[in-house]
Amino acid sequence: MSHPLPRPLTVLPRGPLRGTIALPGDKSISHRALMFSGLAVGESRITGLLEGEDVLATAAAMCAMGADIRRGDDGVWQVAGVGVGGLLQPETALDMGNSGTSTRLLMGLIASHPITATFTGDASLSKRPMGRVIEPLGRMGADFTASPGGRLPLTMRGLCPAVPIEYTLPVASAQVKSAVLLAGLNTPGITRVIEPVPTRDHSERMLAGFGAEVSVEQTDDGRIISIRGEAELAPQEITVPGDPSSAAFWMVAASVVPGSDVTITNVGMNATRAGLVTALRMMGADIDSLDEREVGGEPVADLRVRHAPLSAIEVPPELAPSMIDEYPVLFVAASLAEGRTVARGAEELRVKESDRIAAMATALGACGVSVEEFEDGLAITGTGGDPIRGGARVASKLDHRIAMSMAVAGLASDRGVTVDDVSPVATSYPAFFDTLDAICS
């Protein structure tokens, strides 16, 4: 999947954001819906699937291994699965584009199947380390030939039957946890993952919904997630809630642009994903949760967000796993707050689509924001509600969240912000800029 030509864009300050926003489907849940449906026996239907490039890479990979995946004219996706243990040998390399989630979770699936697969990706994904997944999957019997540093291109050979393990996560990572659990699906016996710090739990919820035998136990050492292997998954009707990571940009934009009043519908409010809402409310953001309900086993609400003055906080490090993807736009909120915000405990940001700590420090600094960089986060002295200076051309680093975060910064600037390449936004939120035009005066 080749990266498109760079698409620079200047985002200028505009009037307030007003109106109702319908989000794309949750990216994490969309990936899992396709994978688990592809392992079920029978046909599943998925409504609200995110149709961004990352999720489409997952769909293509599952098709290459035997699943039949089709999009209906009504936007509903039908997936005829091959059954656990039924993945086929792909004929060509699996091109993951920019999707780290696709790569790591599919590595878990393949680890306990008797097939060999080569993973490739774009320049950004090829810089991301895969060692944290290689290590536990290697213990289960999979064999890997990776590029230097445990990076893509990477070839792996699964083992069937694989060896069940008990694995304690050395870092909080839902992707690593999920990879091990997915390898355990086709492994005899019980595979266990111990997470000292809770991470997003979409895999556990959805696997149980498909009929896998999954248990979660809370202990003094953390959460112990166990899965019994050689499972048989039953097809499901899945409704994907709106992506809270996509909602984050509108929550911050409405909070910092005077006069704004937006309602974001159908936002996934899973407690393992809602850290940004907590942090923004600590800063004084005006965020109301409306019509709280459950959709497809996930808590959902509509969020009404109105402009409010923000105050600096020390972001509790324990929030990091539940808002790890939202830190870049939180840094934008901090730039407009009163006082010095300190956000630490987020060293995971160094190994995302880009080094998000360094990328945001550089971008915000170029826009006149006072930033101090730490290994595990940033300290930002805000303007107290005045616009940031802006007027800079900043690098997105092939990272969709950097691009969208700096677009929000442009809305709250004096001179606007030029992002050197906004094309990566298509990986997770293809309609982002159309939505921005629709709700800005």
For the annotated binding site for 3-phosphoshikimate, the residues are: 27-28, 32, 173, 175, 325, 352
- Helix ranges (H only) for 116-243 are 131-139, 174-185, 202-209
Residue 342: count other Cβ atoms within 10 Å of its Cβ: 16
Binding site for phosphoenolpyruvate: which residues?
27, 100, 128, 175, 356, 401
DSSP assigned state of 348: G
DSSP state, 63? H
If you count them, how many residues does the chain have?
A: 441
411 half-sphere exposure, CB direction, 13 A CA radius: 28
Choosing from 95, 122, 201, 325, the catalytic residue is 325
Query: 97: which residues sit within 8 A by CB, 6+ positions away?
Result: 1, 53, 54, 57, 121, 122, 125, 427
Q: Which residue has the tokens 């009504």?
A: 74
CA distance linking residue 132 with residue 176, whole number of Å: 7
Nearest-10 Cα torsion for 59, 60, 65, 69: 50
**Shortest CA distance to 274 belongs to which of 289, 254, 295?**
289
Q: For residues 208-244, b (16+ Cβ closer than 10 Å) or e, as one string?
A: ebbbbebeeeeeeebbbbbbbbebebebbebbbbbbb
Tokens of 389: 């200076």
Active site residue 325: yes
Distance CA 244, CA 249 (A): 9
| Neighbour count for residue 109 (Cβ, 10 Å) | 26
Burial of 58 (0-12, 13-18, 19+ CB in 10 A): buried
For β-strands 151-157 and 116-120, DSSP reports them as: antiparallel
For residue 77, what are the contacts with CB-CB under 8 A and spacing of at least 6? 34, 45, 46, 47, 49, 69, 70, 71
Q: Give dist(CA 126, CA 154) in Å, integer.
A: 9
Closest by alpha carbon to 98, among 324, 405, 401?
Answer: 401
Tell me the sheet residues that pair with 238. Answer: 46
**Cβ atoms of 396 and 421 closer than 8 Å:** yes
Active site residues: 325
